[in-house]
Amino acid sequence: MSSEVAVPVKGRETGVNKFRVVAILAILMLYGSTNAQSNVSASTVPVRNLTMNDRTMNILAALAEKYRAVIGVYGTLLGSDKGVISISVEHGTLADVLNAIAAQDRRFEWHQADDGSIHVSTREAPLPVIDVLIPSFDAERLGRTEAVPQLTQVPEITSWLNLHHCSMDEMMAGHPPRNWEQFSVHIKDKPL
């Protein structure tokens, strides 16, 4: 499972601490898009007798795997992520679980996109690079480790990263991810 983290990095020219943004876009696509549910509302996915006590990122990874959901996590987290939350849903939905996570870990909020993917983002420091409009991006047979380096070569992303003195890398939190099947991406006039 992956998460985004901001790591303080000393600015070269000014000596001011800046934050290096570490991001991965489709963070919890544990089975690849062909096996994940799409266009399914989190409010219709039944959850029965679920109890979890763990860090938020680990719980989100477990939910993505158990319910075959695409859950993306983005934003900036400062400091360590050692806080454990406890979620218990006897009879509810995946939306109930996500609401419980957001209520206990106030750093995060969530919403669901029209395509069924679940977006979890930080409340206080949203990452505006996600809103950068990509005129065109096509990549064939990407693996998990190739996705972020390919995206950083998109001129609009490169410009945003340079303007904000950021870099984009992949960073893992929790259990090491499984190797994903290779996938293709074709984007035209869409936000990152």
CA-nearest of 56, 85, 77 to 126 is 77
Share of the chain above pLDDT 70, in %: 68
Indicate the pairing of strand 118-122 with strand 108-112.
Answer: antiparallel
187 φ, ψ (degrees, to nearest 5): -125, 135
Amino acid at 119: H
Predicted local confidence at residue 2, as pLDDT:
37
Which segments within the chain are labelled E, that is strand?
Answer: 5-10, 17-22, 46-54, 71-74, 85-93, 108-112, 118-122, 133-142, 183-191
How far, in Å, CA of 21 to CA of 4, rounded?
8
CA-nearest of 114, 110, 102, 106 to 74 is 110
Q: What is the pLDDT of residues 47-72, one digit of tens each?
A: 999 999 999 989 998 999 899 888 88
Q: What is the DSSP letter of 158?
A: H
How far, in Å, CA of 32 to CA of 7, rounded?
28
- Identify the band that residue 92 occupies on the pLDDT scale cut at 50, 70 and 90: very high
Spatial contact of 29 and 47, defined as CB atoms under 8 Å apart: no
Amino acid at 138: D
- Identify the band that residue 35 occupies on the pLDDT scale cut at 50, 70 and 90: very low
- Pick the more confident residue, 95 or 13: 95
Indicate if the pLDDT at residue 22 is higher than 60.
no
Extents of the domains making up the chain: 5-191
pTM summary value:
0.56
- Find the mean pLDDT for residues 163-174: 65
- Find the mean pLDDT for residues 73-101: 87
- CATH of range 5-191; options 1.10.1740.10, 3.55.50.60, 1.10.8.60, 3.40.630.30: 3.55.50.60
- Find the mean pLDDT for residues 102-123: 90
